[in-house]
Amino acid sequence: MPRCKRKNRKSCRSDRLAPRLHSPRAKPRGVGANVSRIPLEAVFRNRSIRTEICVRSPDRTARHVAIIMDGNGRWAKRKHLPRAMGHRKGVEAVRELVRSLKDTSIECLTLYAFSSENWKRPEDEVDDLMNLMRKFIKSDLPEFIANDIKLHILGNWQGLAPDIVEMLEDALQKTSKGSRTLAVALNYGSQAEITQAARKAAEAGEVTEEAIERHLYSAPLPPLDLLIRTSGEVRLSNFLLWQAAYAEMLFIDVLWPDFTPDHLKRALADFAERERRFGGR
Ligand code: FPP
């Protein structure tokens, strides 16, 4: 088993966590102990490659979590249902997750709902996704307001259908006083985001990291702490490429419609055990 390379540490992941992670009978202790038991090795991929990371203080909390919600289509296929059903169940998973935010440390949850590349999907699927968006805003806006959720949109959302733009403008205005942010990436592509931010920075005569950051869609959001992708795929798909520079990553073998608030709590517990060095040592 690999040894922790850092000096003066009482314990490290290689010594303390690896045995329980890989033993199906081992019981969780410490940070994640009060989270209901799903065998970690069944849910989180690539645990073993992180066995050299030392454990940090257990009070570490993630303020900003982003999720690539992947696997709606596969979920539907496995159940012999139309793809649209997978997306519909995906919206239900979103709803439950947003409801659970008040029980977490998360100040901002960013969801990748529609990428600028998703226009390449068949027209009826794009229509389904847009209709789900309309229904979601209409049905859930009162709950956002009641639960102090502030909506933020990333992406070229003004390029969506005029009625959706109007609904979003209304939702942004009505939730503007909320204390916890739900950021939704719509018609979003990270390379385009960085390009337009760099262009604006250049036009203003200051091409620095700080100036570019000020022009990103994410400018008002806290720094990204944790990026999760569901469905077992391990790639970023043009999502938050700048913001993820020092984010922790978690790739989970759960299809998005099956993702629950419990998975999120386990992800937060996993995050709390990581040591982030931001390039230092
Ligand atoms: C990827 O699954 C998912 C999407 C492209 C859309 C995500 C959208 C939702 C969860 C619903 C809309 C969200 C809101 C906030 C209203 P996929 O279809 O690519 O799955 P597959 O890889 O299994 O085919």
Per-residue pLDDT, 167: 98
Catalytic residue among 15, 34, 59, 70: 70
Per-residue pLDDT, 35: 34
Q: Is the pLDDT of residue 27 over 90?
A: no
Q: Is the pLDDT of residue 251 over 90?
A: yes
Per-residue pLDDT, 278: 83
**For the chain, where are the alpha helices, taking DSSP H only?**
13-16, 18-22, 40-43, 72-78, 83-100, 123-146, 162-174, 190-203, 209-214, 261-272
**Neighbouring C-alpha atoms within 13 Å toward the C-beta of 267:** 30
Per-residue pLDDT, 78: 98
Per-residue pLDDT, 18: 30
Q: What is the pLDDT of residues 102-156, one digit of tens each?
A: 999 999 999 999 999 999 999 999 999 999 999 999 999 999 999 999 999 999 9
Rounded CA separation 195/44 (Å): 33
Among 30-39, 81-90, 160-169, 193-202, the least confident range:
30-39
- What are 227's two structure tokens? 């990026």
Q: Is the pLDDT of residue 45 over 60?
A: no
The verdict on whether 70 is a catalytic residue reads yes
Determine if residue 116 is labeled as part of a ligand binding site. Answer: yes
Per-residue pLDDT, 44: 55
| Cβ of residue 118 lying under 6 Å from some atom of ligand 1 | yes
Compute, in angstroms, the gap from residue 72 CA to the centroid of ligand 1: 5
Which of 4 and 140 is assigned the larger pLDDT?
Answer: 140
Does residue 162 contact residue 131 with C-beta atoms inside 8 Å? no
Percent of the chain with pLDDT over 90: 76
CATH 3.40.1180.10 positions along the chain are 34-271
Beta bridge partners of 252: 44, 230
Residue 44 DSSP one-character state:
B
Does residue 168 contact residue 185 with C-beta atoms inside 8 Å? no
Compute, in angstroms, the gap from residue 8 CA to the centroid of ligand 1: 45
Closest atom of ligand 1 to 256 CA is: 10
What is the topology classification, in CATH, of domain 34-271? Answer: Undecaprenyl pyrophosphate synthetase (3.40.1180)
Closest atom of ligand 1 to 93 CA is: 10
Q: Is the pLDDT of residue 59 over 60?
A: no
For the four alpha carbons of 26, 30, 36 and 41, in that order, the dihedral sign comes to negative
